[in-house]
Structures are given as structure tokens and as C-alpha cells.
Amino acid sequence: MIIGEQKRLEEISGMLDGHRGILIAGCRSCVAICLAGGEKEVAVMAESLRLISSLRGKGWEIEEAMVERQCEKEWVAELRPRIEGKDCVLSLACGVGAQTVQAMYPRVRVLPGLNTSNMGAPEESGIFVEKCGGCGDCVLHLTGGICPIARCAKSLLNGPCGGSQGGKCEVSPDTPCAWEEIYHSLESLGRLDLLEEPIPPKSWLPARDGGPRRIVRKEAVLTEEQKRLKGGKA
Amino acid sequence: MMRILAFCCERGPGEAIDLAGEKRMRYPADLTLIQVPCAGRVDVAHLLKAFREGADAVVLVGCLEGNCHHIYGNIEGRKKVDRAKQILDEVGLGGQRLEMFHVASNQPFRIAELAAEMASRVERLGPNPLAVKE
Amino acid sequence: MSDGGIGVFICSWGSGKDPKLDMDGLLSFASGIEGVALVKMIDRICSKPGQKEMIAAIKGSGTDRFVVVACSARTKRKLYRHIATSSGLHPLAFEVASVREQAAFVHEGPEAQRKAETLVRMAVEKVRLWVEPPFEEEMPALRNVAVLGDGLMAMAVANEIMAQGLTVDLVMSGGSPKGSPPYIFSNQDEMDRALRSMAEASSDPRMTTIKNASVLDFQGPPGDFGLVLDVAGEMVPLRCGAVVLAPEPRMELRTIDGSPAPSAQELIARGLRRIVILPSGASSGIGCSCMTPRGTLYALSLVDAAPGIEVSLMGREARAMDWMEGLQRLAQEKGIRFFRIDGEPKVEGHAPTVITWRDPLLGDMRLQADLLLLDTVLTPEVQSLAKAFDVPVDEKGELLSIDSRLRPGETVRKGVFAARFRVGNMLYEDMALEAGSVAARALEMLSMGTLEVGGAVAEVDQEKCSACLGCLRVCPYSAPMIGQAGKAEVRMELCQGCGACVALCPSRAIDIYCFSDSQIVAQSRAALGKVR
Amino acid sequence: MNRVAIIGGGVAGLSAAISLERRGVPSIIVEREEALGGLCGELGCKGVERCVRCDVCLARDMVAQARSSPLIERLGRAELRSVSGQPGDFRLAIRVGGQGHRLVRAAVIVCATGGEPFDAHLDKRLGYDELADVVTSLDLERQLSAEGRFLVPSTSAPPKKVAFILCVGSRDERFNTSYCSKACCKYSFKLAQGLRAIDPGCAITIFFMDWRLYDPRENVRAWASGDSGVRLVRSRPAEVLLGEDSRPEVRFASEKDAIVEVEAFDAVVLSVGLRPARSAAELARTLQVETDAHGFLRSPKGEPCASTRPGVFLAGTCRGPKEIVECVKDGAEAASKAIAFMGGVG
Amino acid sequence: MSARSGLERTLLGGKFAVTAEIGPPKSASAESVRRHAHEMKGSADAFNLTDNQTAMSRMSSIACAAVLIQEGLEPVVQMTCRDRNRIAMQSDILGASALGVRNVLCISGDHQTFGNMKEAKNVYDVDSVQELMILRKMRDEGRLWSGDELETAPELFLGAAANPFADPFEFRVTRLAKKVKAGADFIQTQSIYDMDRFERWMALVRARGLHEKVHILAGVMPLKSHKVALYMKNKVAGMMVPDTVVERLKSAKDAKEEGIRLCVEQIEHLRTIEGVKGVHIMAMAWEEKVPEIVKRAGLRP
């Protein structure tokens, strides 16, 4: 899932200066799961900002709203009555959500309440770890199901580097060395042979480096004629 | 004996089939027709599963574009056929064994035409290799 | 699955006359199929005695579904539903193997028999997996129609509906409409009679008129719609069984600078002698559309009132209808000239205005006019109606209802009907006919008092739905919606059972009754001889 | 007995029957031919992959709906002999095929007997009699309906050059048809689109006077300019003669320099207009309704589908030439008026 | 096979090679490089020039190499994968060989979070093994990685790093084999303190016959004090410093002298290990001691 964490209150209140009608919009999918933008987090953020507003006389009028999934136009459209009369929206969804709200309500300023971080999974309650770098050309079949692009600090394909010691990455003691894990995974899979052959340079075209990506599933795309025939909001 | 399976929209083409019957328009018995509410009802899995069940050729018969009783079910059907053809090519069975035909309710002769067309394709491409193995 | 077992009824006439099918062979074939509890040959199922015999057999056997092996399913579907209900079964608890049309009539001897057996096998395999669909008969159908539109078309629709004993709420976006109705009246009294009928209708007790209203919200199933109108800032709720959208263009003869066409006396007074009428078609600026009788009638009125006036009509086609054919000859006899143009004329200067264009036969032409009148069209505001009722609009700005196989007057949204106007060439009779047929569509839906809902419709398994909104986006009828639980729900009253959503759903959360995935697969396997 | 008798099983009659059935009103269709569908039922679909919106398949769809409804009784090979009784309780004497007469009681009569295509033999100059390759649009439609393609009669090869001549038997004083038949502009446009779709190698030339397409979305000029294989000539051909290579030659005044041109085509299609049915006068007498100047049954001004006699309603081309979709609307309107006449919702 | 560089000529001649390391300065002037050059001239076959070591910006390795060439020394250019993608890498190599550089050491490079600009964006388009593949293709096939032909192919003596002290130990030899397959001609190991582990590693190397396929130079680093030893042991990842070494420096009166003596002892021991073709002396910020170490270890006449 997409993992994000809240910006510091200081930064958020800095952004909110000069605004009066504020709507905090949370999201019920990924950011709720990583405890960044769910309904409770929206409530906590609302209370904290109301405290700041009364303590420092900011005069903010803060309202809370939830969206099922803030990256879907249909659901963000349901925010319309709540957004009427507000001059800014503090989105506690991931970056995608904030951008969707801004695209649908061009005259209302949308402020990012979260720093969207990565695609990962909860390791245990409260700890979320990056697992996938979205490089567009998966190599898990060569690395025993452990992604070196996302989980090796240097995205090496013929790791480990010289700095891996005690199973930890040189970058930080609590980051396991991906290649150490790859080695042990392939060992238990009995496929250490995969590490013999040097892997040639990777094409980064399908990755973010190739420019913003656009995935098209032709059989679900409505043709121009279908759109004309269907009409309505969709 | 060839096995050609046709998924047939019951509105337009379904009417054409009955009209073909009324007019005694002969077509090869290899063509077996399954009636579905609309060409858009059939999804890629049905088309591929038919080949796994031994069909030599599969046909999706929908109404003419712009004449769909369910607004644009036939365009949805066309998209599924294109996707399935792509997969059949990649798989090696050949997308030629799958085709979409458009038949209006007053074109009974098209049923015989499409049956003949698919029969000739099966002759050219040979029977479904899966069926032969069994 | 079927607990009471499947009944297979073979109609003796199903074999077709010349290439006889061996119906007894089919009988024994059917009895050999696992799960078939009863097999019976009946002489002419569609005859009265045939039906009685079949109903008795079903009741006696305790089977809860059956297969009919007979002629085409299409012509007898309603009959078989009647037999099912009379035997105490669900009206859709059957499948038909059309062995006559799809085997006896189209294949030769042994092949026909084998195909018939395959068809029977397919029908049995399909009905085996039949699941009782939701079938609510009693959806209410309010006998009140909301008609939206300002002009004559809306009024005519209202009249037709009231003539059939239903009540009407006429919702007008403005107060009184500008310009004149776009229809062509054969003479003045027909126009007066039409305007008079408009006045009478508005006083009819069965109609309430709401002026200056725009639609804020539109909810509810067909037969029980809930509208919320914004009437000069105030929110007015409105409940109705059906909605008819009847926007109407307005036509106006205008000068270039937009002022309405002067009367004959004014022309004489201002000494304007040479008048040219150009149907501009476009609502603004110079265009070139078809010469309509409207221009001819206005020219005739000018010439009658002031003989000295010289009138010329320009346009691409000479459009005339029924009785209007002779109109042009009458106009020519009175000295009115007609010019046919291909493409846009060039217009320069003011009093006199010089019009130049290229005539295919006569070459480059020049015409001087003291006054150029444009026959302009004021197309109605259709976008907001389309948005409010979720109905598509085509490039011509008309509420699309013809493009696909919808019947005239129907739109994609069940219960929402739309009258179509043809700009510039719609006779008053054409409009009355359009209004009548659109009203008829609405009445067909409401007149039975209840709406049959359910049957072969889609249903969402809430557990499996991942709320990807795919079904909302693909459904032509916008039947699926997102319920409270954040999961998809298919509104049974809107679903027409086309299955586009089922084919798209990534989580296989939606399936359709009577054409479920498992049924289609079972039929394919049976068709390919893969079932033991 | 609130049953409606519908004379004629064409598109208009079927539409009326279906509309009545949906409102719970039983009806009986008296059809002269064996099968339902009328003139429209004989026409062919002109689309290959794309529907050109000629609406011909409406007839087929409606026949299917009518045949599957228990509320609609159908009498094939049946002719209306006489009508007695008064509006609200008519008695119709009907001769049914070989089994003699049958008496039908009905509260209302809807006459949907339709019109007749203009007999092209009457216009000698267009050579329909002598030249095999000069066909009427109806012949072309029947071939499309049967095989989905058109072959030149004399050579039975697909044509490479086809001419359409519009307004044959319409807007023509000589045959007392000074009216515009409304439908031939549309169906000729659709036939041309059909031939282009079936064989893009077949060039089409259409000789026309005015384009009178009533559906605003039908833009024949845009279609023609976008398709190199189509040529629109605004000229009414004088005659069609046999060329040396035994192909029909059309003599017409060309648009550009108004001299007479002669051009040979593989086939010439005469777009025949609509005339009142031969039996229209006799039918009018039977139903005691008036006809208009051209011989069609007359609807009073401003009341579509009504006839001059209460309780008798008219639908379709029996009351004047019209397109297929308009006949469908006529059916619905006639059904509405019939139900209104029978006192409100059925 | 003709030697492509002085270092290669020494190694091919069977002579025990010596390489040292010069740290490029944080300065725009090459003055300190020239000074080191004069001090160390003749004391080693070739001199490594680190590439923004520990991810701290310093004078570019190739620029320093040019200066060394002017001073008559043979440079070993180090090229990390952290700062350049394959496009910049190949263009730098063409430039370097045009300036006379023949030895290149392909290394992944320290992660930028070690350096003084942690917020920088790293590259890592390719890793050290892939870098070897690219450079070998330029040398042997005369083509860029894209396949375009080069007018003149660079003559390169390709080196790679190896760290017997990083984990997983048993994989380290396989990784060395991978580098050899990718085109490494010589290897310079991490600085050695835990002699047993190095010897076990060399045994595995010999077992796979890698010591004949590639010239292995053992890395040593003289320690100025026991504090430096502790820093190396705890702060530098992939470095093993046994406690005995720390103890020895701590108890010594003159820590620096003890550091030098230890280094010399290590060199003498390393010369006895079969498969070790030379030694790489990394006297970072102590370059002036290299001639003395070389002399006391008897490496130079």
C-alpha cells in the first residue's frame, strides 16, 4: 500500500496562515492503514489545529470530512457540499488524493497534510517498511523474492556492496542489507546459482526515470462513441 | 468434426438465428450457438476457456455498432475479443481462431457466412492442438 | 442447484415437418442426463390442452425447474413464463432448447439430431445452475409525470399525458419564452389554435406549472422519482413516476445587429424596398442552412402587405413539406426570388448590404439589399438538463435518444424520456406527433400501475467487491452505485441485464441471474461435448 | 370488449399493437400477406460492421415482439371486407385465407395499411422496362435482404459504378404525385452508404434535386465530401438509354455548364417514392373516412393519426409518405389516441 | 598479451606490485597533489585517486590523474556508480584515457548519507559489476554500451574492489568471481587487520583458481593511534579491526611509530600468502609515510 506520514504541525500551521475556512479531508484506504490520514488521524489533526488556532488567535474554522478513496473522482465529487464556502482543504490523503481534490476544485487551495513516502507494508504494528520501488520491470524472480531496487540503498543488482556487515546495510543499522537477505532466500530456495551470472545493466525506461508513467488497459477504456452514448457524469 | 463455438447476443443476432431457421438457411452443424444477453456480457476468460475445452474456433456475434440494444455492449464485446486475440497470439494458438462478427436482426444469411468463414479458417489452421492431444 | 430435479418437456411439433427430428430419441437422451427427474413428450405445448398437461406434470413431479425442447424461444418466452408461474415455480425457472430453428430447419439428418441433443444438453446444464433471481413485482409507478420545457412541445406532451388520465408537473426554466416557436404553421389560425390549447392546458386542474425552476437533484427508481427544484432560490421537492425532457429551440427573424424583423408597414415607412432573407442556421453570425417555409411565409406576408417590396430568399436546400410544396410556386408567381447557394455567402456593407456568392450554374452572383434578415435559431439550454438527468447530448445539442437501439422518445436513463426537435423544418404536426409518441412511451411505463423489476439482473457480492468503481463507469444505464458500506450495489430497477459490468469486474464480485458465469461455462462445456 | 383492431401488420401497425400491449390493451392485427413486417419487412440491412441507422431492422424486432405477446392476435392472409357498428363497438368482417369469413368485434380501428412504392414502369423514359440493369430501390433492398450484397442483374457481378436517381415518382405532376415522399432521400443515402460499406471499390453517383433529410444529424454533404467514391450531382436526369457496351447510360444536364452529358453506369437505381395503396380508395369507403387530394387517408389538421371519423385512427404511410421512425411514432400516437378514445388508461 | 599500463607490466613481470592512495584535496589548486607526487615518486607502481570518498566532494579523480601524469606518476582513477550514470561514465572514461589514464578501479561508492551532503540525490544507474561490463565492452569491442562504434577504443587495465571482511563471508568469493567474469583484471582489497579471515578468504579464492585469473593486491592502512583504530572498527562498515591491534596501539608509547611497524609487519606477512600479487597502501592523510613504509618493508631497492 502507499505509506505516508503526517507533516509536522509547525509546517502545517505555517501553510494554513492567512486561511479561515479549513476542511481537513481524510481517506479511508491506504493512509488510514498506515495511521496517517484515517478518520481518527483527521480528528487528532483537527483538535491540534483548533488548539493552535485558539492559543495563537489564528481564527481558523476547521471542519472534518472523510473520503472513501481520495484518488477517485467519483468519491471526491461527494465532497462538494462540504467544500462550499471553504477557502482551503488540508488533505490527509497521499499525494495522489491531494492532487485529485485540487484538480476537481480549482478555486479552493488544497494543502498536503502528509508526506507520501513509499510503497510498502507494515512489518509489525506501527512500523511500515518500503518494499517496492515501482521500477516498472520486476526482477524478483532473480533475487529470491526480495527487491534490491527498493530495499538496497544503492539499488545494486549484483550486490552486496562492501559496506554490508552483520546483515545490516551501511546506511543504517536498522535497515537489513537486501542482498544478505537475497543470499539467504536463494540459499533456502536452493537457487544460489542465480547469483553466479552478473546481471547486465537494467533499463530504467519503465521506471520513474523514463518520465511519468501511464498504464492503459484497452479493454476497459470507453471509446469516444461510448462516452457520447453514455453521457452523464462518468 | 470441427467444433466452432459462438457466443451470440440474443437481441439482434438471436433474432437472425431464428430467422435463418425460419428461412431454412443451411449452415454447418459444427457451429453451436450459446445465447448471452449482450455481446458485452462475454469476458476474456469465457473465450479462452472455450479453447481449453477443445473449441477449434470461437466467435462472438454482436449487433452492428451503433445498433446495440444495450447502447454499446457490442463495442465492449469487440474490446474483449481484441484482448483475447492478443493473448491467443502470445500463447501460440493464434488469434485467427477467434473473431467477432456483427449481425443485425434482419441479416440471417450472415450466420451461414460467418460459419463458413470460421470453418475455412479452421481448415487452414488445423484443429485445436489441445483437442488432438486428448 | 436443483433439489427437486429438472423436468424436460419435449414438444412434438418441435421436430419441424420435413427433416424430421427423432423426438423419441431426444426423450431417451434427456432421461439419461443426471439430475433430470422427469421427461415427458407433450403434443403442441403452446396449445391450451398442451399447457394444462405440462402444468399438471410439473405440479405432480415436484421438480423446481424445467427445460422446454421445442421451437424458437423468442416467440414463446411469455407463454413459458405463464406456465412456470401457474405451476408455482419462479417465472424464469426454465430454459429453452430451440431444436426446431437451430437444428431441424438448418442441418441435415444425423447432424441435426446430434445438434438437437447438444442443445438439450446445454439447456439442462444451464438450468441446473439456475438460481432464483430477486423478482419484485410491486415497484410502485406514480401516475404523475414531470415535463421539463418552456415551449409548445412541453405543453403538447403535457396535454397528451393529461388526455390519458395522468397528472403533470410542468417545470419551466424561464418565465415566458422569447422568440417564436420553431414550428411551421400552415396558416395563422393553426398557430392561434395551438397557442389557445397552450393557454387552456395551463388552467387544467390536473397540471401544476412551476416557473423559473432549475433541477438541483434527481434520485429514486423509475416509477418513483424524487426531484428537487430550485425555484427562485427556494428548494421545491417534486415526486413523479416519469420525466419527459422537452427543451425547444426558438426561431427568430433578425437583422444583422440582432433587432427583430420589422413589420411590412415599418419597411415601407423606412423606404426599405429590397429585402433578402438568409436562413443562417447558426444562432449567431452568418451561416447558410436550408430555406425553410418559414422564410417563404414571411416573404408572402410582406408582399401581400406591401406590393412594392422585392423579396429574395437564399439557402442551400429548398425544404418543403407535404402541403408546402406548392408554396414555392405561389411565392414565385408573386415575384419572390429563390437563390440556391453551396457554401457561405459573403456579406459586406450596410444599407445597402451587398451579398456575393458563387452559384454552381450562374457563376459569381451579386445582390444588393436594403435590409438583410437572418433566420436564426436559439437552441435551448440542454447541457444543464443532460447533467441533471445523466442523459447524453449529441453534437446538435439534442438529448440523444436515437443513436442506439432505443425506441423513439426513450433515453439511456429508464423512466427519463426526451422529445427531439428538428431545427427549422418541423411542422406543427411533426411536433404534435413527436409529443404524442414521447408521451406514449411514458404512459406505456406508468399505465400498468406497477413496474416489473428484477429477473435477469446483476447483483454484487459485497464481500468480494473491492470498490474499484469499474462497474459504475462501464454501465450504460448507470445502474450500479456505491452504497453506504463503500461497496458497489446494482440498483435492480435500473439494471437492464446487459452484463457489461460482469465482464469487467476485476474481483468477479458481480454476477447476473439466468446468465451467470458458471452457467455460461457449463453451456460452453456442454456445447463442446465436454460433459459426460 | 376494449380490443383494438389493427388493419395492416407493417411497422406502424406493429408499433401500435406493441404500444397497446404494453398498456394492457389487447389487439388483433389483420395482415394481407402471410408474414408480418409489411413493406419495411422486405427491406434489407445496409450496414456491414457499422449501423447506418436506416431503421429497417425495427420491423424485424417488432415482429418478434408482436409474435411473442399473448395480447396480440395475428391474422395472416386476412382481408377486411366490411365494417359495421359504430365507434366504440365496431364489427369487422374479415376474409381469412382459405377458411372463409370471421367476424371481429373491436372498440377502435387503427388503419395501418401503408402506402405503395411508385411503379417505375410508369416512367417510360427511365428505361426500367427494357434495361435489366435499371432497378428500383426496392429490388436493391430485396437483394440486400436476401444475400447482403448487390449484383448487377445482367452480369451478376458486383457493380463498380452505380447511379442513384432520386425523386422518381415524387414531386412529379405527370403522375399526380406533386408531393415529396420524404423517405427516399434518407433511404437512398443509406443505400449508398450500404453499397460503399459492402464494396469500397464501387463508386456512387447520386442525381438529386434537394436533399430533404429530416433527421438533422444526417449530413449527406459531409459524408460525400469525406468519401472520394461518392459524387453528388444536382440534376434530374432526362432519360436512361442502353449504351453500346449494353450498360445503362444516363442523360442529364450537368451542373457546371448546363450542357447535356451522357454517362454509363454498371447499374442505375431508381429511388421510387411512395403512393397511396391501390386499395386506399376502397378502404376509405369501408372505414367511412376521407382521403386527401393525393389519395392518402386524411388526418385533420393539427391532429396527427386521427381520421375524419371518430374511433378510427390512422398510422403510418397510409396517411402520407414518411420515414420508418415516423411510422413507429405514428403507431404509438395512434395507440394513445385509441386508448384516450376508449376512456383513459386501459 | 602486451601490458596496457605500468602496473600491469609489473604484475605480468611477476614482480610484487605496490599501489598507494592519494586523497584528492578539497581545493581548486593541484598544489597538494603535486607535493604528494614529489614525496611518493618511485615508491609505488601506481597511485589510486579516490572519487569523492565517503561521499564528500573533492577534486575529481580524473583531474588529479592528469596532474600525476604531468608529474611522471601512473594514476589509478577510481570511478564510483554513485555520482554518474552510464552516459557520464563512458564519456569520463574516454576523456581519462585521452589524458593518458590506463588504470581504472570500478567501485559502487559510499552512500551519500555518509557524506556531508546527505540530502543529495544518488544515481546508481549501474553497479560496480555492471560498470566493469561496460568498460570492458569499450576496451575489447571498441563500442559504447549502446553498440555505437568508437573511433579509438580506450586501453584500460580494469580493477575492482573486494572486501573479505563484509558479510555474507562465503558469498564474497562468488562475488569476486562475478567481477572477474565481468572483466576485472586486478583487485584491491579492503584494508586488512584480521589476518586469519583474509587468509581463509584467500584459500577460498585459490580453491576457485581465481588468483590466476586476476591480480590480487592486499590492502593495508597504517593507523596513527588507537582512537583511529576504534573509529575504523566501529564507524566504518565492512571493516574488521581485532582488539589485539587496538590494544597494541593503545599501549605503545609512540602510537604512530607502532602503527607504521604494524603496517610493515602486515606487508611482510602478506607477501608470503600465495595468490597475493601486491599490496595497496591506503595511508589516507598520511601520504608522506608511504615511502618510509615501502622502504622498511623492502618493497623497493
| Cβ neighbour number for residue D281 with a 10 Å cutoff | 13
- Confidence at residue D346, expressed as pLDDT on a 0 to 100 scale: 43
For residues A106 and A144, membership in a common domain is answered with no
Describe the crossing of helices E255-272 and E243-251 by its angle, rounded to 10 degrees.
140
Q: A218 and B75 in contact by Cβ < 8 A?
A: no
> Per-residue pLDDT for A234 more than 60?
no
> Per-residue pLDDT for C43 more than 50?
yes
Chain centroid to Cα C156, Å, comes to 18
Chain D contact present for C86, CB below 8 A: no
Residue E129, in any domain of the structure: yes
For residues A59 and A148, membership in a common domain is answered with no
Top-tier CATH class for C251-378? alpha beta
> Per-residue pLDDT for C290 more than 80?
no
Greater model confidence, C262 or A199: A199
Q: A229 and C386 in contact by Cβ < 8 A?
A: no
Residue carrying C-alpha cell 415601407:
C268
Distance from CA of E114 to the nearest CA of A (A): 7
Helices (H), chain D: 11-22, 38-42, 57-67, 137-147, 183-198, 220-226, 280-287, 324-341
Set of chain A residues whose Cβ sits within 8 Å of the Cβ of C394: 228
> Per-residue pLDDT for C511 more than 80?
yes
Question: CATH homologous superfamily for D118-273?
Answer: FAD/NAD(P)-binding domain (3.50.50.60)
Q: In angstroms, rounded to a whole number, what is the distance separating the alpha carbons of residues C29 and A189? A: 54
Q: B80 and A219 in contact by Cβ < 8 A?
A: yes
Pick from E258, E176, E178, E188: nearest CA to E216: E188
pLDDT, tens digit (0-9, with 9 covering 90-100), for C82-102: 999 999 999 899 999 999 999
Cell of B66: 451503433
> Per-residue pLDDT for C328 more than 80?
no
Q: C499 and B27 in contact by Cβ < 8 A?
A: no
Give chain B's contact residues with D (Cβ, < 8 Å). 11-12, 15, 18-19, 63-67, 102, 104-107, 109-110, 113
- Confidence at residue C284, expressed as pLDDT on a 0 to 100 scale: 46
Q: In angstroms, rounded to a whole number, what is the distance separating the alpha carbons of residues D219 and D133? A: 29
Residue E195, in any domain of the structure: yes
> Per-residue pLDDT for D141 more than 90?
yes
Residue A231, in any domain of the structure: no
> Per-residue pLDDT for C502 more than 90?
yes
Q: How confident is the model at residue C321 (pLDDT cuts 50, 70, 90)?
A: low
Out of A160-164, C34-38, C394-398, D109-113, which region has the weakest mean confidence (pLDDT)?
C394-398
Q: Which of A87, A118, A149 is the last residue of a domain?
A: A118
- Mean pLDDT estimate for chain C: 84
pLDDT, tens digit (0-9, with 9 covering 90-100), for C343-372: 778 888 877 888 888 877 777 888 888 888
- Contact residues for B47 (Cβ-Cβ < 8 A; gap 6+): B7, B58, B60, B80, B81, B84, B98
Q: In angstroms, rounded to a whole number, what is the distance separating the alpha carbons of residues D136 and D240? A: 13
Residue E282, in any domain of the structure: yes
The helix (H) or strand (E) run that includes residue E172 is: helix E169-182
Q: B102 and D64 in contact by Cβ < 8 A?
A: no
- Confidence at residue C233, expressed as pLDDT on a 0 to 100 scale: 86
Domain harbouring E26, CATH code: 3.20.20.220
Q: Any idea how long chain B is?
A: 134
Name subunits touching A (3+ CB pairs < 8 A): B, C, E
For residues A7 and A93, membership in a common domain is answered with yes
- Contact residues for C145 (Cβ-Cβ < 8 A; gap 6+): C161, C166, C167, C168, C169, C240, C241, C242, C243, C244, C442, C446
Amino acid symbol at E248: R
Cell of E216: 590480487
With H, G, I as helix, E, B as strand and everything else as coil, classify residue E111. Answer: coil
- Mean pLDDT estimate for chain D: 90
Q: Is the Cβ–Cβ distance between C411 and C386 less than 8 Å?
A: no
CA–CA–CA angle B21, B25, B29 (5° rounding): 80
CB within 8 Å of chain A, chain B residues 23-82: 44, 65-66, 71-72, 75, 79-80, 82
> Per-residue pLDDT for B54 more than 80?
yes
Out of B58-67, C402-411, D236-245, E197-206, which region has the weakest mean confidence (pLDDT)?
C402-411
- Mean pLDDT estimate for chain A: 92
Chain C contact present for B133, CB below 8 A: no
High-pLDDT (> 90) share of chain C, %:
32
Residue carrying C-alpha cell 412511451:
C441
Please tell me the pTM assigned to this model.
0.88
Q: Is the Cβ–Cβ distance between D274 and D115 less than 8 Å?
A: yes
Topology of the domain covering C140-249+379-450: FAD/NAD(P)-binding domain (3.50.50)
pLDDT, tens digit (0-9, with 9 covering 90-100), for C56-75: 999 988 899 999 999 888 88
Burial class (CB in 10 A: 0-12, 13-18, 19+), C231: middle
Measured CA to CA in angstroms, residue E21 lies from B59, C190, E46, E53, E164 at distances of 74, 108, 9, 12, 20
Chain A contact present for E32, CB below 8 A: no
pLDDT, tens digit (0-9, with 9 covering 90-100), for A19-30: 999 999 999 999
Q: C476 and A230 in contact by Cβ < 8 A?
A: yes
CB within 8 Å of chain B, chain D residues 64-93: 64
- Confidence at residue C404, expressed as pLDDT on a 0 to 100 scale: 62
Pick from D42, D43, D36: nearest CA to D16: D36
DSSP E strands, chain A? 2-6, 21-27, 61-67, 88-91, 109-112, 114-124, 127-132, 168-169, 172-176
For residues A23 and A72, membership in a common domain is answered with yes
Domain layout of chain D by residue ranges: 4-114+277-341, 118-273
With H, G, I as helix, E, B as strand and everything else as coil, classify residue C465. Answer: coil
Tell me where in chain C the CATH 3.50.50.60 domain(s) lie.
140-249+379-450, 251-378
- The residue in chain E having the minimum alpha-carbon distance to the alpha carbon of residue A153 is E111
Greater model confidence, C278 or E133: E133
Q: Is the Cβ–Cβ distance between C262 and C270 less than 8 Å?
A: yes
pLDDT, tens digit (0-9, with 9 covering 90-100), for D236-272: 898 999 988 889 999 998 777 668 889 999 999 999 9
- Contact residues for D51 (Cβ-Cβ < 8 A; gap 6+): B63, B64, B65, B66, B67, B104
Q: In angstroms, rounded to a whole number, what is the distance separating the alpha carbons of residues E283 and E290? A: 7
For residues A11 and A94, membership in a common domain is answered with yes
Q: Any idea how long chain C is?
A: 532
CATH 3.40.50 is right for the domain spanning C6-131: yes
Name subunits touching C (3+ CB pairs < 8 A): A, B, D
> Per-residue pLDDT for C283 more than 50?
no
Chain A contact present for C127, CB below 8 A: no
pLDDT, tens digit (0-9, with 9 covering 90-100), for A149-192: 999 999 999 989 988 888 899 888 889 999 999 999 999 999 99
Tell me where in chain C the CATH 3.40.50 domain(s) lie.
6-131
pLDDT, tens digit (0-9, with 9 covering 90-100), for E193-207: 999 999 999 999 999
pLDDT, tens digit (0-9, with 9 covering 90-100), for A33-65: 999 999 999 999 999 999 999 999 999 999 999
> Per-residue pLDDT for E122 more than 70?
yes
Out of C220-224, C421-425, E105-109, which region has the weakest mean confidence (pLDDT)?
C421-425
For residues A26 and A77, membership in a common domain is answered with yes
Residue carrying C-alpha cell 449481425:
B103
The CATH number of C452-512, from 3.10.20.30, 3.20.20.70, 3.30.70.20, 1.10.230.10, is 3.30.70.20
Task: Compute the CA torsion angle E92, E98, E100, E102 (nearest 10 deg).
Answer: 50
What domains can you pick out in chain B, each with its CATH number?
A: 4-125 (3.40.50)
CB within 8 Å of chain A, chain C residues 307-326: none
Q: In angstroms, rounded to a whole number, what is the distance separating the alpha carbons of residues C486 and C490? A: 13
Q: C482 and A75 in contact by Cβ < 8 A?
A: yes
Q: Count interface pairs C-D at CB distance under 8 A.
A: 132
pLDDT, tens digit (0-9, with 9 covering 90-100), for D42-75: 999 999 999 998 999 999 999 999 998 889 999 9
Touch criterion met for B and E (3+ Cβ pairs within 8 Å): no
Chain C contact present for B14, CB below 8 A: yes
- Confidence at residue B19, expressed as pLDDT on a 0 to 100 scale: 92
For A158, the domain range is 135-203
> Per-residue pLDDT for D197 more than 70?
yes
Set of chain B residues whose Cβ sits within 8 Å of the Cβ of D147: 109
Chain centroid to Cα C85, Å, comes to 31
CATH 3.30.465.10 is right for the domain spanning D4-114+277-341: no
Q: B105 and D44 in contact by Cβ < 8 A?
A: no
- Confidence at residue C403, expressed as pLDDT on a 0 to 100 scale: 61
Set of chain C residues whose Cβ sits within 8 Å of the Cβ of B17: 101-102
For residues A42 and A6, membership in a common domain is answered with yes
- Confidence at residue C324, expressed as pLDDT on a 0 to 100 scale: 65
Distance from CA of B129 to the nearest CA of A (A): 27
Q: Give the neighbor-by-neighbor strand order of the sheet with C6-11.
A: C36-42, C6-11, C65-70, C94-98
CB within 8 Å of chain A, chain C residues 286-305: none
Out of B47-56, C424-433, C447-456, D168-177, the most confident range is: B47-56
For E126, the domain range is 6-224+265-296
Set of chain A residues whose Cβ sits within 8 Å of the Cβ of B66: 225
DSSP 8-state assignment for residue A197: S
For residues A111 and A8, membership in a common domain is answered with yes
Q: How many domains does chain A have?
A: 2
Q: How many domains does chain E have?
A: 1
Task: Compute the CA torsion angle C467, C473, C479, C483 (nearest 10 deg).
Answer: 30
Q: In angstroms, rounded to a whole number, what is the distance separating the alpha carbons of residues C282 and C374? A: 10
> Per-residue pLDDT for C19 more than 60?
no
For residues A66 and A7, membership in a common domain is answered with yes
- Confidence at residue C17, expressed as pLDDT on a 0 to 100 scale: 66
Q: A223 and B75 in contact by Cβ < 8 A?
A: yes
- Average pLDDT estimate for B109-123: 94
> Per-residue pLDDT for A68 more than 70?
yes
Q: B67 and C520 in contact by Cβ < 8 A?
A: no
The helix (H) or strand (E) run that includes residue C255 is: strand C250-255
- Confidence at residue C16, expressed as pLDDT on a 0 to 100 scale: 64
- Average pLDDT estimate for C303-308: 82
Set of chain B residues whose Cβ sits within 8 Å of the Cβ of C110: none
Q: In angstroms, rounded to a whole number, what is the distance separating the alpha carbons of residues A167 and C133? A: 59
Residue E231, in any domain of the structure: no
Of D69, D256, D303, the CB nearest to C78: D69
- Average pLDDT estimate for D110-134: 92
Q: Is the Cβ–Cβ distance between C183 and C280 less than 8 Å?
A: no
Set of chain B residues whose Cβ sits within 8 Å of the Cβ of C405: 11-12, 63, 67-69
> Per-residue pLDDT for C37 more than 80?
yes
> Per-residue pLDDT for C287 more than 60?
no
- Average pLDDT estimate for C391-401: 76
Residue A108, in any domain of the structure: yes
